[in-house]
Amino acid sequence: MKLGKVEFCHFLQLIALFLCFSGMSQAELSRSRSKPYFQSGRSRTKRSWVWNQFFVLEEYMGSDPLYVGKLHSDVDKGDGSIKYILSGEGASSIFIIDENTGDIHATKRLDREEQAYYTLRAQALDRLTNKPVEPESEFVIKIQDINDNEPKFLDGPYTAGVPEMSPVGTSVVQVTATDADDPTYGNSARVVYSILQGQPYFSVEPKTGVIKTALPNMDREAKDQYLLVIQAKDMVGQNGGLSGTTSVTVTLTDVNDNPPRFPRRSYQYNVPESLPVASVVARIKAADADIGANAEMEYKIVDGDGFGIFKISVDKDTQEGIITIQKDLDFEAKTSYTLRIEAANRDADPRFLSLGPFSDTTTVKIIVEDVDEPPVFSSPLYPMEVSEATQVGNIIGTVAAHDPDSSNSPVRYSIDRNTDLERYFNIDANSGVITTAKSLDRETNAVHNITVLAMESQNPSQIGRGYVAITILDINDNAPEFAMDYETTVCENAQPGQVIQKISAVDKDEPSNGHQFYFSLTTDATNNHNFSLKDNKDNTASILTRRNGFRRQEQSVYYLPVFIVDSGSPSLSSTNTLTIRVCDCDADGVAQTCNAEAYVLPAGLSTGALIAILACVLTLLATPHTIGDLSSLTRDRTHVSCIGSIES
């Protein structure tokens, strides 16, 4: 029958133990510590337990109990008077003892990795009295290790990274295998490492498990990932040892070892001359085999005739160079531009600069295409001036536009009536001369902003726009007038020379704050005996009283004509009437009421009589009798009294 590796190992260890035990005499056995024994108060001679150092082989798979060792007391004469008792860890369940001979056997398979030793206690008893003949003593059964556990990588599988182009011997990662066998006994737990897969690119240090690079200049761009298989074998790697494996995935990380390269030496793009400023003309991209930050680009224009017309920037998401327009293109001025574009990495690795420059250039040619453009005015804004006194049909100014295309088509002009709703102006369709179509009034509209349209004769859809600002110049065509509607009052008890109103004037003509006004009373009012006017010489005038006292019953309102002259050339004047009301005032001169008496009492009729008449009317209205029933009225005492009062 053939034996497996484990069974063969067990067999060899059993033979070794047997030879060890059989070669030792009882006199050579070590003695354990013992305690003094006392019986019936008399001291007896000290006895000692005698036994072997007990070992039992783990993983025993035999059908019979495994012999462990023998307990023996020097009191035992071999006549059967002594019996042996075993207690403690595993007693009776794992370990049994022959009470007559003291032989100990293991009845179950033991695993050192589960429990390395058992602590038990032994007693020798007198068989007849069942009393101890030796003190109880403690001993240990140690489980003898065999190589029954393979190394294991508890942290596997592993992943690691190492920069590409690393020199030979660069450390990548350390792997560690553990072996559950006894590291203090034999070589069962002594592990060595080897590489089963991953050569010739990587190697492993046999004792430490450190994985290192084994080939120089490994290129990520050629291959960026490697799968390694690492083996750990116990028994120092000898035949019969157990082994375990793990995988290690090694990724080459990128370094900036590749310069950018344009896929083409030149590019050409066609753009219309009407393309707006800031529009994208083209996108170009240099290829870079590196990734991430190592592939980030910077672009710039290093040569050519497009400086100031174009600029290039980088799209950070795509790393493209974006060419945009900086100024308006004009086919008639220049039909093409040539740019020399350079692409460079932002951060080149100094180790690889010896390979050459980390930049590349290409040529970009931009062809400007002609576009049928609308007419262009010679000025973006035409300021013009005209007097508001100008006659209809007079010339104000001229605008000019031309076709910028090479065809130079004739241009016709018109006014955009959306900006000249009332049609104040006309324009000559051929010459661009602007004339007045209506009388102008600066006070109605001081500035007219109009849009002039210039249309190509050959292509009416091409329309250019020019802007004209016409300022209306002022003439003195508005007379001055009161600055406001004055509410002037004079107290009945006013004294002569008292100022009752201060007036000012306004003029719609320019300048709004630069006029000088002159005030006076009209000729008809100069000699009146009620009021006078004083010009304050500051564009104001004061109205004063000329007599003592005013009566509302005599005259409640006075009308005073004021003559105002402006300082224009020629000057204009106007007469403005100031209304003055007579009011009853308090002691402080504050008007209380300005209403005149509604009725003047007839001569001989007193105020008391008037009150009596009103009371009688009210009484008559309140009675239910008709006016014709005078007999009943006269019989009523109250009515008779009322009628009597009226008659009196």
| The pLDDT value given to residue 613 | 53
| The pLDDT value given to residue 277 | 95
Distance (Å, rounded) from C-alpha 90 to C-alpha 165? Answer: 62
322-354 burial, b at 16+ Cβ within 10 Å, e below that, comes to bbebeeebebeeeeebebebbbbbeebbeeeee
| The pLDDT value given to residue 114 | 84
| The pLDDT value given to residue 180 | 83
Task: Report pLDDT digits (tens) over 264-273.
Answer: 999 999 999 9
- Domains of the chain: which residue ranges? 5-144, 158-253, 266-369, 376-473, 481-593, 607-647
pLDDT under 70: residue ranges of the chain: 1-53, 353-356, 512-513, 596-648
What fold does the segment set 158-253 form as a domain?
Immunoglobulin-like (2.60.40)
Region 5-144: CATH code: 2.60.40.60
CB neighbours of residue 172 within 10 Å: 21
User: Phi-psi category of 491—alpha, beta or left, where left has phi over 0 and alpha has psi -120 to 50?
Assistant: beta
| The pLDDT value given to residue 396 | 95
Q: By the 8 A CB rule, do 563 and 482 touch?
A: no
Say which residue the tokens 């990274």 belong to. 161
What fold does the segment set 376-473 form as a domain?
Immunoglobulin-like (2.60.40)
Residues pairing with 562 in the sheet: 521, 576
C-alpha closest to that of 37 among 134, 124, 126, 136: 134
**632: helix, coil or strand?**
helix
Continuous segment of H or E residues that includes residue 22: helix 5-22
Question: Which one of 2.60.40.10, 2.60.40.60, 1.20.1260.10, 1.10.10.10 gives the CATH number of domain 481-593?
Answer: 2.60.40.60
What letter would DSSP give residue 462?
A: -
The answer to whether domain 5-144 and domain 158-253 are alike in fold is yes
266-369 carries CATH number 2.60.40.60:
yes
